[in-house]
Structure 1
Amino acid sequence: MTRLSLAAAEDLGFRALRANRVSELQARSTVRALVAAEADGLETHGLARVPAYAAQARVGKVEGFAEPKLERLRPGLIRVDAGYGYAFPALDLAVEALPEIARAQGIAAAYVARSHHFGQGGRPCEQLAEQGFCALLFGNAGKSIAPWGGKKPLLGTNPICFAAPMPEGAPLVIDMAVSRVARGKVILAAKRGEPIPENWAFDPEGRPTTDAKAALAGTMAPMGEAKGAALALMVEVLAAGLVGSSLGAFSSGVVSAEGGPPDLGQTLIVLDTAASPAFPERMAGLAGLYAEDGARMPGTRRLAARAKAAAEGLELPEALIAELEALAAS
């Protein structure tokens, strides 16, 4: 492992993407989000994604020079066309536009269309919570979960993300895939040649497996069994049905450079807490109840990792740094 400052890590990832047919806008926004995920301890959504992102840009699966475009569909609803570029610049545009609408109407929403992998979904929600909003983000992904009772993958791990302001300190952030674990953990294990726990995934025959490569060829285990599979379906409706993006069953995925654009979708919903006078008191009450019981509020470890990264930088595998340096020099 080698330690890099956050600025040095961001510069390295930026150079790696820029050298592989990616514009400054797309590269800067994307790497900023990846480094933020890395700092929060989410290495599956961090700089390890850059080689795949770069490979997709080189062959045109991702439009590296896309410029997101915003359209007002209804007074409280916008659509951001990501243009088959990375999701992050499009989400940045939505996060910038939604607060004004939500303050005027109490609620606002954005559909992000023709998009890509959106990584740490809690981040845009947290950015909105810091401005006094509750935010929900739903996004679909390429097929990796079978409907409960089936063996064939039809749905993605389809994350559900949420953030809310707290009376003191950082916002409450909840960010979870509807699979038992994020598929990125299985991808990372396969890349490293490591086994996975038996309850994470199934092989192509529907049997529990510890082989990460067999898991990637099979299906992910949904959290809560039938309930997790139902949540995956709910997100598919919100992120593909409403947005008009590709169903996860037909998306080309975001791991390989093969196929056409993934054409994924995200739906971001924002609620103005200022319209609810009791909100601060209720949130303070919740925080107090957690403190009394000694319970851990979600996000505690993420915030601790973030503070450590800010003070000490990031520890990154030397092999990953070498791969990024090679991409930057390509």
Structure 2
Amino acid sequence: MTALSPGDAVARVAAIFVNAGCSADNAQSVARALVAAEADGLGGHGLSRIPTYLQMVRAGKIDGSAKPSATRPRPGVLAIDAAHGFAYPALDLAVAELPAIASEQGIATASIRRSSHCGETGLPCEALAIRGLVALLFANTPGAMAPWGGRQPVFGTNPIAFAAPLQGRDPVVVDLALSRVARGPIVAAKQRGEPIPQGWALDAQGNATTDPDKALAGSMIPLGDAKGAALALMVEVLAACLTGANLAFEASSFLDGEGPPPATGQLLLALDPSAFGHGQFGERIAALAAAIEQQPGARLPGARRLANRARAARDGIVIPPELEALGD
């Protein structure tokens, strides 16, 4: 196996997608996101996604040459059409445009439709927090989770992400799926031929399972049981109903080349702390961070991700042998 610097890994992964017929800009955007997720220790959203992304491109479920476009239906809203392409270029567009809108309006929203898998949802929020904004991202995903008490998936794992700036240091970042675990680790376990832990998923008959194939054909268990299912409904409204995207149970899988484009959605919010009638945001969040970190064993969300990122910068990103030849 080959270990590359993060920059070289991005170039290598981008070459794989260009070789599959994607535009150079889209290939770069996808590569940056996948390598960043790998570096952060989120392998389920990292390089393991390459084979299924390629299947989706070759089958036409993702248009590798799509260029996202945006309109401004209201002063604080950026409505983005991902055009059945990858989610990452649409999110890049949102991150580029939202700061100016938030500076003017105090709050800005990017609504993304006709989109696809958006990987590590904390990354666009972190990018906005680096620019001094508080950010929230809601994303719906193909059906994977039943309503509480049901068996038929209606919601996706529907991740939520959040980031806020901290003076003189990396932003605090929260990134979580509303199932007990994201689907990515189950996909990764399937690829490795390994079982999954008890408590992650149910099979199609509603029985607990450690078989990743049965889990993927069944239903994920929501985080916090009924509370997690209620939050998944909330995300479905924000990321699909508001954006005009497919509902989770209407969306095709992110995991293969079967069916039409998934056409899922994302909603990205950016808030300018200086717009809320006081100048104390930096002081207040610093006090909150200190109250957490002064306790032995406690840490801010995202600390492990930053440690993994530093390790990847030092030791490199490992490119599995089966992926090495794809960019040739």
* Partner residue, 2:288: 286
List alignment gaps of at least 5 residues for structure 1: none
Q: State how 1:195-234 maps to structure 2 within 5 Å.
A: 195-234=195-234
Q: Which residue of 1 aligns with 2:327?
A: 328
| Residue 312 (structure 2) aligned to one of 301, 309, 312 | 309
TM alignment of 1:170-189, pairs within 5 A: 170-189=170-189
Structure 2 match to 1:144: 144
Question: Structure 1 residue 247: deviation in Å?
Answer: 0.6
CA displacement 1:102-140 (0-9 Å, x = unmatched): 001110101011101000110000000011100000010
Q: Does 1:6 align with 2:6?
A: yes
Q: Secondary structure at the match of 2:109?
A: strand
Query: How much does 1:234 deviate?
Result: 0.5
Does residue 298 (structure 1) correspond to residue 301 (structure 2)? The answer is yes
AA at the equivalent of 2:215:
A
The corresponding residue for 1:63 is 63
Q: Is the 8 A contact 1:167 1:283 kept in 2?
A: no
Mapped partners of 2:87, 2:61: distance in 1:
13
- Superposed CA deviations along residues 50-99 of structure 1, whole A, max 9, x for unmatched, are 11111111121111110110111100001111110000001000110010
Corresponding pairs, count: 325
Whether the aligned pair in 2 keeps the contact of 1:39 and 1:314 (CA below 8 Å) is: yes
Tell me if the contact between 1:81 and 1:113 (Cα under 8 Å) persists in the aligned partners: yes
State how far apart, in whole Å, the 1-side matches of 2:135 and 2:321 are: 38
For 1:205-257, what per-residue CA distance to the aligned partner results, in whole angstroms no more than 9, with x for missing partners?
Answer: 11111111111111101000000111111000001100010011010121110
Question: In the alignment, is the contact (CA less than 8 A) between 1:66 and 1:84 conserved in 2?
Answer: yes
Read off the aligned partner of 2:230 and give its amino acid letter.
Answer: A
Could you tell me which residue of structure 1 aligns to residue 257 of structure 2? 257
Please show how residues 17-96 of structure 1 align to structure 2 within 5 Å: 17-96=17-96
SS, match of residue 166 in structure 2: coil
AA aligned opposite 2:39: A
Structure 1 distance, partners of 2:11, 2:149, is 46
2:122 is matched with 122
> Is the 2:2–2:321 contact (alpha carbons within 8 Å) kept by the matching residues of 1?
no
Deviation track 1:239-282 (CA, whole Å, cap 9, x = no partner) reads 11000100110101211101010101000111001124121111
Between 273-282 and 250-259, report the one with greater CA deviation.
273-282
* Secondary structure, counterpart of 2:294 in structure 1: helix
Separation (CA, whole Å) in 1 of partners of 2:321 and 2:58: 19
The CA RMSD over aligned residues, in Å, is 1.1
* 1:143–1:156 Cα contact (<8 Å) kept: yes
Aligned to 1:158: 158
Measured in 2, the distance between the counterparts of 1:11 and 1:51 equals 17
* Matched-pair contact (CA < 8 Å) for 1:251–1:263: yes
Q: Which amino acid aligns with 1:311?
A: R
Q: Structure 2: which 5+ runs fail to align?
A: none
Work out the percentage of aligned pairs sharing the same amino acid: 52
Secondary structure of residue in 2 paired with 1:253: coil
Query: Is the 2:133–2:270 Cα contact (8 Å) retained in structure 1?
Result: yes
